[in-house]
Amino acid sequence: MRAILGPTTAALMLLSACGSLSDGVDYSDDRTAALIPPEIHVTPCSTVELVNFPAAEAGAAKAALDAACVVRRSPAFLTGVTARDWVPGCSLIPFVRHRAVTGASVRDAMADAGARFQLIYEDPGAVASTSVSAQSMRVRPERFQGWLTGDRDRRAALVNTLTHETTHLISEPGRPRVFRYTDRGQGSWWCPDRDLVSYGLGALAARTWLELSSEG
């Protein structure tokens, strides 16, 4: 029997740690590079404060933020988001699926997500972690170094991460310290990544960027 849980079962944690370090990618954190002072980067989607970045990686962050914004506003991405229902978080009860929400509701929530946030160049012990109450995300240095290699898959991975973490910047209406979309407990058969708002939209953004950047 399959029970259905409502959104109130979404975890009330203040920090969302995403991805594991065991993804086969070599991780290097070059702390010898000089860091730039905090800098504001504005895209049509967000005003972003870049914190603790070396200069080259700050350039990668700006380019990736621009790319993620183009993707987020593209017809292909918006169509993909609205084409299906999504799961806002895993049920924390094993073998129980969480109730899904409509793609249209996710599209609307994403429309003004992360209007202003901090992007911090720092290893959070995962690929990335985001605080909804502080409106800040920490992304591991390897992601930005991957962008600088020019490798398309590694660039798509950063677009994926930025989009995924942006879903964690969305709070419950009137409750700025509560995530609307979580992924704690993700990856089980009753909560597959592809169905989650965070992982699903991240993967969709990566695919969309690969398609858009191969055209013209």
- Given the rule CB under 5 A, which residues bind Zn ion? 16, 18, 183, 198
Instruction: Reduce the DSSP state of residue 16 to 3 states and report it.
Output: strand
Quote the Cα angle for 71-142-198, to 5°.
45
**Closest separation between CB of residue 18 and Zn ion, Å?**
3
**Closest separation between CB of residue 125 and Zn ion, Å?**
13
| Closer of 147 and 179 to Zn ion (Cβ) | 179
**Residue 41, Cβ neighbours under 10 Å: how many?**
16
CA–CA dist 70, 137 (Å, integer): 20
As a whole number of Å, the end-to-end CA separation of the chain is: 50
| Closer of 118 and 213 to Zn ion (Cβ) | 118
**Closest separation between CB of residue 199 and Zn ion, Å?**
7
Cβ neighbourhood burial of 151 (10 Å; 0-12, 13-18, 19+): exposed
| Closer of 88 and 146 to Zn ion (Cβ) | 88
Residue 163 in tokens: 């989009």
**Closest separation between CB of residue 193 and Zn ion, Å?**
10
**Closest separation between CB of residue 13 and Zn ion, Å?**
11
Instruction: Reduce the DSSP state of residue 40 to 3 states and report it.
Output: strand
Instruction: Look at strands 116-121 and 15-18 and give their pairing.
Output: unpaired
- Amino acid code (one letter) for 52: N
Instruction: Reduce the DSSP state of residue 45 to 3 states and report it.
Output: coil
> Which residue is at the shortest CB distance from Zn ion?
18
| Closer of 58 and 201 to Zn ion (Cβ) | 201
Residue 89: DSSP 8-state: S
- Amino acid code (one letter) for 161: T
| Closer of 46 and 130 to Zn ion (Cβ) | 130
**Closest separation between CB of residue 158 and Zn ion, Å?**
15
Residue 101: DSSP 8-state: B
| Closer of 16 and 160 to Zn ion (Cβ) | 16
